């Protein structure tokens, strides 16, 4: 068996170039005692990957030069050698990386039941993006019925689930997305109360129009000017959840908010969240979200592209906005 891999070749400055990674092919090594071999079917592409290839440490160590590019995966155990965690044939999800095959002891992998939903769902709505949305809006955002919730990056993997959970909990939900197609998707498919097209209208005027009494919770996935604008409309004791800042990831110097004094005036809070902090409760969240999906209250959408050779081009879609929902690369031939 030949293992195709993308290895980190250099630290990028700005938007990564294709030669940021090195493509290699090599035979799969023999299993050692206690190991299992996973054949990866799908690779998750996430904005956080951009941060993982910087030299500076964030909430986890950066990917090392020469190492397989870190990524979430869904795959099947095809061989085991003295490993009792998973049976041969089991489907699992974990950090398999951008490669066809992953040798592992099984640590950090979880068995999944793919009989009711497709495999990509487990790196989307029922995976890390879904867990991020669940704990971000419920635990950090502390939403309650009647809250006005504004979500940026609302047509993305995290934002789309955040908005739906807020609607389930009885909130008024406004999403910010780029382009009419995405805004129509938020309203017509996901049930958002309103959508703001940041590419074709003034975000400040649109927030004032859709949130005339202000915002109770702002869930931020983009940072930059949109975050700064949202801070102008905070209500008393509002909560700002800092989940991501995709508008800033490829900038040499990140732009911070000028309107931060709104936090003081409105006795509001702004808190960052990293989903890894909630790992012990993933199972609880997955059960609840599976129930909502079964009831038709929660929808997931995977934007799937095909072929290991399409890794770089698909990765760029994270920053061009050319996707809706969870970005996934199918690599099993």
pLDDT tens digit sequence for 181-218: 999 999 999 999 999 999 999 999 999 999 999 999 99
Contacts (Cβ under 8 Å, ≥6 apart) of 289: 125, 126, 130, 134, 161, 298
Specify the pLDDT at position 252.
Answer: 63
CA Rg, the chain, in Å?
Answer: 20
C-alpha neighbours within 13 Å on the C-beta side of residue 324: 16
Structure letter (DSSP) for residue 48: H
Query: Exposed, middle or buried: residue 300 (CB in 10 Å: 0-12, 13-18, 19+)?
Result: buried
DSSP 204-258: HHHHHHH-TT-EEEEEESS-HHHHHHHGGGEEEEEEEEE---TTTTT-SSPPPPS
- Judged against a pLDDT cut of 80, whether residue 224 lies above it is answered with yes
Specify the pLDDT at position 255.
Answer: 80
Q: Compare 128 and 247 and report the one with higher pLDDT.
A: 128
Query: Exposed, middle or buried: residue 1 (CB in 10 Å: 0-12, 13-18, 19+)?
Result: exposed
For residue 118, name the pLDDT band (cuts at 50, 70, 90).
very high
The rounded mean pLDDT for the chain is 95
As a whole number, mean pLDDT of residues 82-105 equals 95
pLDDT tens digit sequence for 6-34: 999 999 999 999 999 999 999 999 999 99
In angstroms, the CA 185 to CA 10 distance is: 38
For residue 324, name the pLDDT band (cuts at 50, 70, 90).
very high
Contact 152, 227 (CB under 8 A): yes
pLDDT tens digit sequence for 33-49: 999 999 999 999 999 99
As a whole number, mean pLDDT of residues 55-70 equals 90
Please count the other Cβ atoms lying within 10 Å of the Cβ belonging to residue 62.
Answer: 17
Q: Please, what are the domains in the chain?
A: 2-124+301-330 (3.90.180.10), 128-276 (3.40.50.720)
- Judged against a pLDDT cut of 70, whether residue 289 lies above it is answered with yes
- Judged against a pLDDT cut of 80, whether residue 297 lies above it is answered with yes
Contact 44, 123 (CB under 8 A): yes
In angstroms, the CA 282 to CA 127 distance is: 9
Crossing angle of the two packed helices 128-135 and 282-294, in degrees rounded to 10: 100
For residue 280, name the pLDDT band (cuts at 50, 70, 90).
very high
The DSSP H or E segment spanning 134 is helix 128-135
């Amino acid at each position: 068996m030949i293992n195709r891999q993308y290895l980190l070749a250099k630290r990028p400055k700005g938007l990564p170039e294709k030669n940021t990674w090195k493509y290699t092919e090599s035979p799969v090594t023999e299993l050692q005692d206690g190991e299992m071999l996973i054949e990866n079917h799908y690779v998750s592409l996430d904005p956080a990957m951009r941060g993982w290839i910087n030299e500076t440490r964030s909430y986890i160590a950066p990917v090392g030069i020469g190492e397989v590019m870190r990524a979430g995966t869904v795959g099947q155990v095809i061989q085991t050698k003295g490993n009792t965690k998973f049976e041969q044939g089991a489907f699992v999800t974990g950090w398999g990386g951008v490669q066809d095959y992953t040798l592992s002891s099984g640590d950090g992998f979880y068995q999944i039941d793919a009989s009711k939903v497709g495999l990509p769902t487990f790196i989307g709505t029922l995976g890390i993006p879904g867990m991020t949305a669940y704990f971000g809006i419920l635990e950090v955002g502390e939403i309650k019925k009647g809250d006005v919730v504004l979500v940026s990056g609302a047509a993305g993997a995290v934002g789309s689930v955040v908005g739906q959970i807020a609607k389930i909990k009885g909130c008024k939900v406004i999403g910010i997305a780029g382009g009419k197609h995405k805004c129509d998707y938020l309203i017509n498919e996901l049930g958002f109360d309103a959508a703001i097209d940041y590419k074709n209208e003034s975000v400040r005027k649109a927030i004032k129009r859709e949130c005339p009494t202000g915002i109770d919770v702002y869930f931020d996935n983009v940072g930059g000017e949109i975050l700064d604008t949202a801070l102008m409309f905070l209500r008393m004791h509002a909560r700002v959840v800092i989940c991501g800042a995709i508008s800033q990831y490829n900038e040499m110097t990140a732009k911070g908010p000028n309107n931060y004094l709104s936090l003081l005036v409105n006795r509001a809070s702004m808190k960052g969240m990293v989903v890894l902090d909630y790992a012990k409760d993933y199972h609880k969240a997955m059960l609840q979200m599976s129930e909502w999906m079964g009831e038709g209250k929660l929808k997931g959408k995977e934007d799937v592209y095909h072929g290991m050779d399409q890794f770089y081009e698909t990765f760029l879609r994270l920053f061009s906005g050319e996707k809706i929902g969870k970005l996934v690369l199918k690599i099993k031939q």
